[in-house]
Structure 1
Amino acid sequence: MHAVRLHAFGPAENLVHEQVPDPPPPADHLRVAVEAAGVHLLDAVIRQGRALGPFPLPELPTVPGREVAGTVDAVGPGVDTSLLGRRVVAHLGRAPGGYAELAVVPVESVHFVPEPLSAAQAVAMIGTGRTVMTVLDGVELTAADTVLVLAAAGGMGALLTQYAHHRGARTVAAAGGPEKTARARSLGADLAVDYNRPDWPETIRTALGAPRPVTHLFDGPGGALARTATTLLAPSAIHHAYGGASTLVSPNADDATAEQDDTGDITVRGLPAAQVQERKREFEEKSLRLATEGVLTPLVHSFPLAGAAAAHRALESRGTVGKVVLVP
């Protein structure tokens, strides 16, 4: 088979498309003929040689990638042979191996791909969609809310924009550039602004007729963009921080789900890693169900498997729209 391997940590060019032996599935595993493999910013961080959270640096050479969808083409000892030929999707957890024509998956991680979804859409929902469900857990958005989504044309941002619209909230999408703001508007945003323009906060204030109109801020980028966005938060608003922005939440907090910011009236709600792991199958099932029902439709940005390096470069430079996937 062909796979993308990393032989040395460093730039995207270190991702090499090459031929490797077909992996046999061990006991309690199955093998998937991959139709789509997810690319995550975490993959790029690890490729650079930086460990992050519970994900240690792998031994080299390694095949990156933790999200795959395709057809079962072989099963290991102890696995029901009726699974052969079934369309499945799985998140591989801490074990990489997704950037390949064939991927070995623990049978306990597998979900059947619902009929309306493509392999690329299923991959988007099993990883990015699962994280969105974690962010939204316990959050009750209503028509009384005004929601601001940063990076609204990204994988998570696109789903969060759709969900806020579905719940009837007044939805404001902030994205970089006219193409991305147009995409966010097509997802149901009532207002889409280009955060590359210095006047974007004032555009929101003028359009909504209030200096601090936002009750829920969904923030993946963090940094200066998030600091500007917080000036739009109403008293008692909730700042949902995930991805790069999750560092806003103290890792030493007893709850690690919410804490007050330094103004004392805004709640910053993080993404607790323990909850993601303990309830991951529940969140995966909910994500796939909402996509099947048409509530959420993931945006997908596809690259060929041999173009993994280009996919990494585009993702790191914010040159993608939606979930990035590799197609063998």
Structure 2
Amino acid sequence: MAALIASFLLAFSLLLVGVNALMVDYYAETCPGVEEAVEEAVKKATANDNTVPAALLRMHFHDCFIRGCDGSVLVDSQGNNTAEKDGPPNISLHAFYVIDNAKKAVEELCPGVVSCADILALAARDAVAISGGPIWEVPTGRKDGKISRASDTSQLPAPTFNFSQLKQSFSQRGLSTGNLVALSGGHTLGFAHCSSFQNRIHNFDATDDVDPSMNPAFADSLRKACPAHNKVRSAGSAMDSTNTVFDNTYYKLLLQGKGLFSSDEALLTHRKTMELVARFADSQKAFERAFVKAMIRMSSLTGGDGVRLDCRVVT
């Protein structure tokens, strides 16, 4: 118990340090065109590939949950070091080229000034806005980290997590239960591979082959897309029925038994989180307000100490 309390206090102190270190318009004098350059890179990529917004949002989340938002998820494996992006939970991450392109454009404007971590945070915000979601001011001033280890990706919350595991994972990073429900709404964008929800549709437990909390017709459609012992790596399901639009459909479907992950369904096993799911399902505006608040709080976790000139390389 003492170790858990110490871990929480450490995480919370890191959060406070991050909040104090960041500010809106951090680059107002040193790189005034940074936000426009990042937005242009995200828009251009999304015009050619509508999966880019979901990829950038997930990338930012995975970056922040390991040592804070320090751009370590962008680093390539090199030599004897296997980097975060090659850890099991991150194998399906993509669209790193978007950050590369944004970084190149920003370096032409103001060499050596803007961190890769800030570019990723701005890109995630732009990804949400481009998909029809809210726009918000992103506090900047993050620094890039020099450590990126695949082994650390075991710290990421898994799609198989139950509520207790989710709550612990978020609270250790100074994030509330409300933040958990709001950030889960990011699942309104994107695609999930069969491996992420296989546990719910095959051999669920000793009594049921399929998770009984799932809508039967929905479960049947997933079983057809992802048969037992599926070997098609690209097989899976859209996160929700409007998976390129940032809206509150995720919550509406969750209440209908059509959530994909165990971690999604877990939100309905606790009174407070279930009430929030119902509120967000009823009000897009309530969801957006909570999501923006949670994103700012999560992305204020910092841990780096420099600015990388190449987001893929630690120097």
TM-score (norm 2): 0.28
Bigger proportion of residues as helix: 2
* More strand per residue: 1
Greater relative contact order (Cα < 8 A, sep 6+): 2
TM-score, normalised via structure 1 length: 0.27
